Structure 1
Amino acid sequence: MLNSRTPQHDLRTPIPRRADLRAAVSPRHHAMLSAHLTVRDRWIARMVAEHRVLTSTQITEIAFPSRRAANLRLHQLFRWRVLDRFQPYIGRGRAPMFYVLDAAGAHMLAYEDGMDPAALRFRPERSLGISHSHRLAHLHGVNSFFTPFIHHARSNPAAHLDAWWPETRCTRHFGDLVRPDAYGRWREDRRGIEWFLEWDTGHYQLARLAAKLHDYARLTSATKIVTPVLMCFASPRREAHARSILAAALRDLPRPDEVPVATSNAVLIDQQHTAAAAVWLPIDGHVPGRLRLSELASAWPHLAPPTGAASDDAESGDPVRLRPPPAMPPWDQTAELTWRKQPTDPR
């Protein structure tokens, strides 16, 4: 026992560190992964690479039948260095694990796309650097907006999330005109809608957010495609305050009907468990109450059916890009999402 009389020589040898159970990234390790990674594993790695960070809760929603199944497989992917993880301090309670792409996962995706992994310039420490970013809460909020769509569609054959673009991909395609927080396209009960998302954490100046409506008007003029803008605010009170500012900004536009706007708030969405529910209130839409996401198009009769967004960055002229994953899991849900015994660790 350590006490005030402990001699110096007892303190000379440090306690040996626990053996690192994570695999070393090597050609042999990549060969092993090719035999043990499932379609779901590869899709999860692509989703994490595309959206930078996903929590264990979000990954459970989009890819697993239970939290236990998700944790067991995610731990295995962590040991194989397909994913890395961190757990932020939240002050009260306990945060879930946040997963980012690791070296073996980046190499695996590059090889699948016929790319030289060195061209990606992937650095694990940069991937984990998101843990210190001041935009982590914003990024987590945007991802939490979309993952319930996939969870809802897994149990509803009439629903499907056709597209989910993060801010980085939106910037590559539209950044010279406007920078949305995300882009999505949703189908439910034979009705579809596409939208740009603006996610408000409560710290963004509402005047700056309203000014972005002019940028969206420029995008509509350039593309000749009218795309609704959905704005989600941190609280009902902030949403109510923002609606008056947004309405005034819309009236200042030459053609306000080219920028349809609907608002909601994170509290209401959390209560309904999904943004596909009746949580959206159009601005100047002349509707009696909040609408489901699939019903929003009825508030704007001039909207054209959703267009098919580009599925990759082939038109961007930048070959050093991993192809994006499908927004929905690409496997047969009934067969693949059923929990089964995980492959044994070959080491």
Structure 2
Amino acid sequence: MDDPVLRVQSQLTARDRTLLGWLYDHGVLTTFQLANALFPSLDFCQRRLRTLHRLRLIARFRPQRADGGSYPYHWLIDQLGAEVVAAARDERPPRRDHARLERRRWTSTRSLAHRLGVNQFFTDLAGHARTHPGTQLEQWLPEAACRRIGTFAGSSDSVAVLAYQPRIRPDGYGVWAEDGRQVRFFLEYDTGAEQLDVLINKLAGYRELFITLEQAWPVLFWLHSAARERNLRHRLDELPTMAPVLTGARDTAASRQLTPAGPLWAVAGAAERRLSLGDLGREP
């Protein structure tokens, strides 16, 4: 019997496999996000996406703008693509309706803008790495992976660490490499819609995780605006330190034409000296 997974695998490049894995893990990405992160040009990206779409590895939709017109194509994993990813990872095959459920989820969800914002952060890092030798986004995990038992156990042989199920719900976890140094971090992506107390209350879960692991990694709050960042920093200054927190603002990044890899990050509770993401691996 002809196996479509085996048939299509020989047509895939390493970049295709990265792209499929991202869609499988992170739900939805736009043409421009994928082009910036993985391809030398938008035209090259569009051609390859059309090929993967024709092979029924990925699906697409195009939301309509409220004021007329439409957004760029948004890409999702298709059923065959999900099966290819699962096979490559030696995981159980996805449910037969996996792609249909994902398509329904992201074409109708109110959280689409938030997910795209989170994915923009990580694809901006990948795009930066693509054009800056010596830098790399080595790992990008979604919230679901961060909540699994043993995800952050590493080489620990502690029963408590191996059995610990994190209570955190980050928007993502990444490992950034720069000049031979690694920076592990969690991302909290702020839309500006939540009360600041909601953001602050998330730190208790990180404190518990770091106490269990006996090590701590930066928690990056990527704020909607510089004004909101100032307000959050003022609140954090009044509280005991529960986790290593850094803040940055998207409007500042846009005005300075910087990616999240740039000197945008300030340590909460300290003087407002801006660090790059790579600097965090150099801090004592």
> Could you tell me how far 1:168 is from its partner in structure 2?
1.6
**Deviations 1:205-245 (Å, cap 9, x if unpaired)?**
21011111122111111110111111011111111111112
- 5+ residue gaps in structure 1? 1-25, 302-347
Whole-Å separation in 1 of the counterparts to 2:85 and 2:192: 36
What is the DSSP-based 3-state SS (H/G/I as helix, E as strand, rest coil) of the residue aligned with 2:147? helix
Aligned residues: 267
Counterpart for residue 16 of structure 2? 41
Equivalents in 1 of 2:266, 2:10: separation in Å?
Answer: 49
Matched-pair contact (CA < 8 Å) for 2:185–2:218: yes
Q: Alpha-carbon deviations, 1:87-116, whole Å to 9, x = none?
A: 112335641211111011122223334455
**Cα pair distance change 1:30/1:293, threshold 3 Å:** closer
Please state if 1:183 is matched with 2:173: yes
The separation in 2 between residues aligned to 1:111 and 1:193, in whole angstroms, is: 30
Q: Structure 1 125/186 Cα, relative in aligned 2: closer, same or farther at 3 Å?
A: same
1:292 corresponding residue in structure 2: 276
Letter in 1 for 2:147: T
- Aligned partner of 1:270 in structure 2 is 254
1:142 aligned partner: 118
| Alignment partner, residue 212 of structure 1 | 202
- Residue 59 (structure 1) aligned with residue 34 (structure 2): yes
Identity of aligned residues (%): 34
Question: How far 1:277 moved relative to its partner?
Answer: 0.6
Cα distance in 1 between the residues matched to 2:40 and 2:243? 39
Determine which structure has more spread, i.e. the larger CA radius of gyration.
Answer: 1
Q: How does 1:1-347 map to 2 (within 5 A)?
A: 27=2, 29-92=4-67, 94-115=70-91, 117=93, 120-129=95-104, 130-172=106-148, 173=151, 176-249=166-239, 251=240, 256=241, 259-271=243-255, 272-287=257-272, 289-297=273-281, 301=284
Distance 1:278 1:198 in 2: 18
Larger relative CO (CA 8 A, sep 6+): 1 or 2? 1
User: Contact 1:178 / 1:212 at 8 angstroms: preserved in 2?
Assistant: yes
- The 1:259/1:128 distance shift into structure 2, 3 A limit, reads same
- Which of 77-86 and 289-298 deviates more? 289-298
- TM-score between the two structures when normalised by the length of structure 1: 0.71
- Look up the equivalent residue of 2:45 and give its one-letter code: A
Write out per-residue CA displacement over residues 237-295 of structure 1, whole angstroms, 9 at most, x where no aligned residue.
Answer: 1111111122223x2xxxx2x611111111122333410111111112235x3221112
Does the C-alpha gap of structure 1 residues 176 and 43 become closer, same or farther in structure 2, counting only changes over 3 Å?
Answer: closer
Partners in 1 of 2:266 and 2:145 — Cα distance?
A: 27
Q: Deviations over 1:118-175 (max 9, x none)?
A: x545432211121211111111111100112111112222111122111121122476
Distance 1:247 1:97, change over 3 A: same
SS class of match (1:73): helix
Root mean square deviation, CA, Å = 2.2
What TM-score, normalized by structure 2, do the two folds share? Answer: 0.86
Counterpart-to-counterpart distance in 2, 1:297 and 1:170: 21
What's the CA shift for 1:57?
0.8
The one-letter code sitting in structure 2 at the alignment partner of 1:170 is: C
Does the 8 A contact of 2:146 with 2:166 survive in 1? no
1:295 is paired with a residue of what secondary structure? helix
Distance 2:142 2:58 in 1: 19
Cα distance in 2 for residues equivalent to 1:27 and 1:267: 52
Give the letter aligned to residue 221 of structure 2: M
